C-alpha cells in the first residue's frame, strides 16, 4: 500500500521513562533496554549482591557519589547535595580520600572497604564507579568468577 503524496511515515513507538525522584540510573537502563525491566529495588539488590563479587585487587580505585548534608555552621539545612569521594588502596590498606577530610582515613583491608561500601549503599542514593585499567575492563576482571 502506498502513502498519499506528502504524508509523513508514523514515528516508531519509543519507550521512554521520565525522571522520578533520583532514579535516573534505573530510568536510563530501562530506556536503553526499551522496556521496564528494572525497579529501584532490583537495581539496589544488584548493587548489594555485586559488592561481594568485586575483585578488589583488580580495581585501581573507587569513586562514590553520596548524598551530602548542607549546613551553615552548627545549623543543618534540610537540603541535600551530592559529593564525590575517592577510595584507594595504598600498600595493602584502603583509604577514604574524601576531600572534605583533613587527612586520609584508613579503612583497613578488603573487609574494611567492603564494610564502608555496604554502609554507603545502605544510605541510599549512592553511586559507585570503579576505576580499572583498560585490560581489566575488557576482560571483565573486576568481578570474581568463583
Where in the sequence numbering do the catalytic residues fall?
24, 83
- Residue 116 to residues 64, 112, 124, Cα–Cα distance (Å): 11, 6, 13
Question: What letter would DSSP give residue 15?
Answer: -
Residue (of 56, 51, 52, 48) closest to 110 by Cα position: 56
98 near 105, Cβ under 8 Å? yes
Amino acid at each position: 500500500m502506498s502513502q498519499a503524496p506528502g504524508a509523513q511515515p508514523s514515528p516508531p513507538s519509543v519507550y521512554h521513562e521520565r525522571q522520578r525522584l533520583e532514579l535516573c540510573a534505573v530510568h536510563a537502563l530501562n530506556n536503553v533496554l526499551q522496556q521496564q525491566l528494572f525497579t529501584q529495588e532490583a537495581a539496589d539488590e544488584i548493587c548489594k549482591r555485586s559488592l561481594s563479587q568485586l575483585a578488589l585487587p583488580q580495581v585501581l580505585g573507587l569513586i562514590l557519589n553520596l548524598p551530602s548534608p548542607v549546613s551553615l555552621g552548627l545549623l543543618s539545612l534540610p537540603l541535600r547535595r551530592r559529593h564525590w569521594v575517592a577510595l584507594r588502596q595504598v600498600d595493602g590498606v584502603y583509604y577514604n580520600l574524601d576531600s572534605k577530610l583533613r587527612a586520609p582515613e584508613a579503612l583497613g583491608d578488603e573487609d574494611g572497604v567492603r564494610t564502608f561500601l555496604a554502609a554507603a549503599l545502605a544510605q541510599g542514593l549512592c553511586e559507585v564507579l570503579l576505576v580499572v585499567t583498560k585490560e581489566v575492563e575488557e576482560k571483565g576482571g573486576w568481578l570474581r568468577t568463583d
